[in-house]
Amino acid sequence: MRKYSNTQIALHWAVVLMITVQWWTAAAIPRTHSPLLPPSAWDLFQHKVHNYCGMTIGVLIALRVALRFARGSWSGFRLSNWKDHTAAFVHWGLYAALAAQAFTGFVAAYYWGPAAAVHKTIWNVTLALISIHVAAAAWHGFRRDQVLSRMFPSKQA
Ligand code: HEM
Ligand code: HEM
């Protein structure tokens, strides 16, 4: 039976943590570009953290997709057909949205400012997908089925 490796699990939670950092640091960016007030050192620091953390997310997403193809998906416990399809849609949607966000953020910061509008729009898609994903995780938690434990390390093979 295939399961997520500890590396995949660690990457999942590292990206969750880093998305929180992105959400938290993003608000400082417009302040660093204000034509009226000089940016504070703290805001400039947050902008830097946002850029480097965002680029790291991009690299980690590429790694996760590569691992996903190399190892395949969980094959031990299947939900009903539509639930499995919805889960796959949301999972691949999250990978695509996060990759697109890292890319458009990079382009906006270093090459072409107007890409920031796309970057912000994709954030709404990312948020919507995260909401569905976390709601589904909570639902599985209440049902106490085996789904939630897939993303936590365990000894069983
Ligand atoms: C997956 C990774 C990323 C996430 C989740 C993310 C998230 C966000 C969020 C939530 C905002 C604020 C959106 C809003 O105000 O409505 C934002 C803005 C911004 N991000 Fe990112 N970001 C990511 C990667 C990057 C990268 C890699 C860079 C640059 C190297 C970057 C540069 C920016 C810039 C410049 C803005 C300000 C746009 C503006 O206010 O005009 N982001 N990001
Ligand atoms: C920023 C938030 C999150 C993002 C972007 C995210 C992203 C993902 C992605 C892309 C997958 C698919 C892995 C694969 O098969 O390749 C996944 C799986 C999973 N995630 Fe998250 N996740 C987030 C938060 C959470 C939270 C808060 C929980 C639990 C409370 C959670 C629990 C799970 C579980 C249990 C799976 C495995 C589902 C299955 O195998 O069908 N995730 N996550």
The CATH number of whichever domain residue 40 belongs to comes to 1.20.950
Q: What percent of the chain has pLDDT over 70?
A: 92
| Structural domain total, the chain | 1
Distance, CA of 128 to CA of 125 (rounded, Å): 5
| Ligand 2 geometric centre to CA of 108 (Å) | 28
pLDDT, one tens digit per residue, over 17-64 is 999 999 999 999 999 999 899 999 999 999 999 999 999 999 999 999
Examine residue 1 and state whether it is found in any structural domain, yes or no.
Answer: no
Examine residue 131 and state whether it is found in any structural domain, yes or no.
Answer: yes
Residue 93 in tokens: 């949607």
**Residue 49 lies in domain:** 6-151
| Among the bound ligands, the one closest to the CA of 26 | 1
Rg of the Cα trace of the chain? Answer: 18
Residue 147 in tokens: 């789904």
Distance, CA of 76 to CA of 78 (rounded, Å): 7
pLDDT, one tens digit per residue, over 79-138 is 778 888 999 999 999 999 999 999 999 999 999 999 999 999 999 999 999 999 999 999
| Ligand 1 geometric centre to CA of 97 (Å) | 12
Q: What percent of the chain has pLDDT over 90?
A: 78
pLDDT, one tens digit per residue, over 53-73 is 999 999 999 999 999 999 876
Higher pLDDT, 146 or 9: 9
Higher pLDDT, 145 or 3: 145
Determine the pLDDT at residue 1.
42
